[in-house]
Chain A
Amino acid sequence: MNLVGTLFVVALSGCAVAAVAAVLAPPRARLRLAGWCTAGAGAVGAAAGVAAVMADGMTSGVSAGAGQRWSAWLPELLPLAGVRLAIDPLGGVFIAVTGVVAVCAAIYGIGYCSHGLDGRAFQLVLPLFVAAMLVVPAAASVSTFLLAWELMAISSLLLVLAEHRRRAAVGRAGLWYAVMTHFGLVTILIGLVAFAAGAGGESFEQLRAAALSPAAKTVVFLATLAGFASKAGIVPLHVWLPRAHPEAPSHVSALMSAAMVNMGAYGIIRIGLDLLGGGPAWWWLLVLGLGAASALFGILQAVVASDLKRLLGYSTTENLGLVLVGVGAAGFFAASRLPVPAALALAAALLHVVNHAAFKTVLFLAAGSVLHATGTRDLDALGGLRTRLPYTTAAFAVGALCASALPPGNAFVSEWLLLQSLIHALPGSGVAGAVTMPLAVAVIALSAGLAVATFVKAFGVGFLARPRSAPAERARESPPAMLGAMALAVAGCAALALAPTLVVPALGRAVGVVFPGREVVSGELTLRLTGVAGMISPLLIAVTLVAAASIVLGLVRVSATRRARRAARLWDCGAGPISARMEYTATSFAEPLERVFDDVLAPESDVDVTPMKESAYLVERVRFHARVPDRIEHRLYDPLIAAVSAVGRGARALATGSVHRYLGYGFWALTAALIVLVVTW
């Protein structure tokens, strides 16, 4: 067993130890023991992933399929099929991301869970969830993959339901999640089973070598795409995401949003690009279209959301949409025989996966810290946390800067890379490309612009200005374990933002699994694209920015004659003091955008006037109620649910409780079956 394998097995054992510790340890030590074990397991898992990416078969010049660094077949572990594992650079990227997120979430959990979440069951399931997410990218056969996938789904569902006794909304969110994730499992199951049946074997190597008819390939691709899209929170299968993320405990939200949804993208890359070996261009245009729709829809919902964690959930839909734009573009370019932009687009997609994981971890952990301190997620009731939660505010500021794709944040680098791949592909990609590429660029640009507005709102309204409610006024900073975990995630963001040149070449090796070829980028300080013109240096941008700001400050110091800064009242137009009720809220901040995108968002508002008894002209009370419903949920799912429940109600008439009647059903059913058999045989 080599380094990667050893590390991976140690990581899985660490998860097992954590699970055992959660069950056996006394309540006092349980949190610390389970938390640190899970964190250690995550760290070792991340090391395994990094080792798989760094020490790669590319150097020895072997082809992509043989580039795996470690594989194992454990026939005795499961009956019939056994467990088949293999880690290659592509899986390694996802393992590393999962591992690092797990470290942050586990350490955070030690501080976060001390009130009510320190029970055996919750602490047992968390390491199992991490272990399942580590196994999914390492699975190398259909049965292993599906098993790990289902374990991941079940354990995350249990974690989402952790607080169902406290809030009724948790149960509903869990129901949505259970239905959507199992819908996804079923379609993936259908797709992969059909694939394995066609290939005559279920290990990924056999699948890769299989020669399926184009129609069968299309069926496999579409079935698995639906399943993976539902996991990745892609429109229109995203409905579970904005419900489950706010209701889950915050470090679970971070794990789900930063690590679990990535598995959807991983599945599409692995099945579509690797195992099915590309495919016709329209597959990938479909993926690109779905990604673009998700990016726009997600960010539009995020910009009008006033629940902090719901906003972050929709932002996950947006970012995974951008990832799928990259994946779709990569597949499309590969189908149009443009290897350089294809590799570039896939590298951009992977980099965005990594970046999104980093900043979304920070943001969800900081949001959890706010929730812990104030008990509310409603941005309209927050504010003024800058003085009360200084470290959380700083962490959220970094996360928000990264998420809004501005330099010197990390998402800027991946979106830059994505745009470069789209631009450089245009001349050779035919009419379909000429129509889609500009639209894709526009979608990325619009979602970037709206992301800026979203995160200015989240940070500016939620953390700056003055508190808008009593709980926000009483907020206290979180315990050190939570702050430490946030600091770790912030450090990850900073490293990715300033030194992408260390990460992107490694991602290039992961891309090499799918598109064997040359390196994507080069350069130490400057990110230089190879094969096409284009370079940028995030580190130097940050340095010059700091230098310029310091020069400006120095100039002010030298030339200003009055050094002292006088404290004064806020300018209140001379009237009484400004109260928190006069501040702009999240809702009012988003109102102009809500108006501009009126047709898409279809906001609802109603005014309820209660007149006085004496006269209809005297008003006793006016209630104004406004909300922006999820339109897809409204239009697509509500009728569906209504139809299903109508069928259910109709079926109730059949079940009256009479035993004779049930016997009658059985008799007639048997007779009908016999008749059918006689007629058709």
Chain B
Amino acid sequence: MRLWRKIVKTGRVAEPAPLRDPDAPRPGVAAELAGSVQIRHVDAGSCNGCEVEIASAFGPVYDAERYGARLVASPRHADALLVTGPVTRNMEMALRRTHDAVAEPRLVIALGDCARNCGVFVGAYGVAGAVSDVVPVDVEVPGCPPEPEVIVAALRGLTGR
């Protein structure tokens, strides 16, 4: 009952949907997905900053799920890989295999500066390279870490909603 009162009192937390950015990158394959993008998140060596932001992007306030994006448990179920962090040597093969496990058509999102160009870790001994050095990247989301609004905007570019 207490939970029910809380639900009634809180009401809707999700912010009203902002206008869709028409310039958001939309790769050709995204059109085939037609409003439904299942995402498998791969942490390739991130500092967990991006993970916190992803969590809030899928939380009640930003609610990325309303645009048709959803996090799933297996790359077999996924359409897009959401890769964070510079690709460490330990994760290089794992990232390749995860990419291979996704059924066509598939997309790769490099989330955060580290994923785009190794960020502050560039040249570090344990780093194999940026995400684009390992698997083909379709969408890049800049920021260290990127704000939830930016993440949501990039995802909306993929779902087209």
A residues in contact (CB < 8 Å) with B: 562, 566, 568-569, 571-575
Q: List B contacts of A566 (CB < 8 A).
A: 103-104
Interface set of B (CB-CB < 8 Å, partner A): 42, 74-76, 91, 93-95, 97-98, 100-101, 103-104
Contacts of A569 in B (CB 8 A): 97, 100-101
Q: Which of B42, B91, B101, B104 has the most CB of A within 10 A?
A: B101
- Which residue of chain A has its CB nearest to the CB of B102? A568
Additional A-B contact list (18), CB under 8 Å, known A562-B104, A569-B100, A571-B75: A566-B103, A566-B104, A568-B100, A568-B101, A569-B97, A569-B101, A571-B74, A571-B76, A571-B101, A572-B97, A573-B94, A574-B42, A574-B91, A574-B93, A574-B94, A574-B97, A574-B98, A575-B94
What residue in chain B is nearest A564 (Cβ atoms)? B104
User: A194 vs B104: C-alpha distance in the bound complex, in angstroms?
Assistant: 79
Tell me the complex Cα distance, A48–B97, Å: 64
> How far, in whole Å, are A575 and B74 apart by their CA atoms in the complex?
14
A574: which B residues are within 8 A, CB to CB?
A: 42, 91, 93-95, 97-98
Docked complex Cα distance between A573 and B76 (Å): 11
**Nearest residue, chain A, Cβ from B101:** A571
Where chain A touches its partner, the secondary structure class is loop
Tell me which residues across on chain A come within 8 A of B101, comparing CB atoms: 568-569, 571
A568 vs B101: C-alpha distance when bound (angstroms) = 7
9 A-B contacts (beta carbon < 8 Å): A566-B103, A569-B100, A571-B74, A571-B75, A571-B76, A571-B101, A573-B94, A574-B42, A575-B94
Residues in chain A near residue B103, CB distance under 8 A: 566
Cα A573 to Cα B73 with chains together (Å): 11
9 closest Cβ pairs, A-B complex: A574-B94, A574-B97, A574-B98, A571-B101, A571-B76, A571-B74, A568-B101, A568-B100, A571-B75
Contact residues in A for B100 (Cβ distance below 8 Å) = 568-569
List A contacts of B42 (CB < 8 A).
Answer: 574
B47 vs chain A, min Cβ distance (A): 20
A571-B76 Cα distance, complex, nearest whole Å: 8
Please, which residue of chain A has its CB at the minimum distance from the CB of B98?
Answer: A574
Q: Which residues of chain B come closer than 8 Å to A573, judged between CB atoms?
A: 94
A571 to chain B, nearest CB (A): 5
CA distance A566 to B93 in the complex (A): 20
CA A572 – CA B76 in complex, angstroms? 11
Cα distance, A566 to B76, chains bound together (Å): 12
Chain A residues with CB under 8 A of B98 = 574
Which residues of chain B are near A575, meaning CB under 8 Å? 94
- Closest chain B residue to A577 by CB distance? B97
Q: Which residue of B lies closest to A570 (CB)?
A: B101
Contacts of A562 in B (CB 8 A): 104
Question: Quick one: closest A residue to B42, CB to CB?
Answer: A574
Residues of A within 8 A of B104 (CB): 562, 566
Residues of A within 8 A of B76 (CB): 571
Residue among A562, A569, A574 with the most chain B CB within 10 A?
Answer: A574
The residues of A that contact B93 with a CB separation of less than 8 Å are: 574
When C-beta atoms are compared, the residue in chain B nearest to A571 turns out to be: B101
Task: Give the distance to chain A from B75, nearest Cβ to Cβ, in Å.
Answer: 7
Give chain A residues whose Cβ lies under 8 Å from the Cβ of B75: 571
**Bound Cα distance A428, B97 (Å):** 66
Interchain CA distance A571-B75 in the complex, whole Å: 8
B95 contact set on A, CB distance < 8 A: 574
Smallest CB-CB separation from A574: which chain B residue?
Answer: B94
Residues of B within 8 A of A568 (CB): 100-101
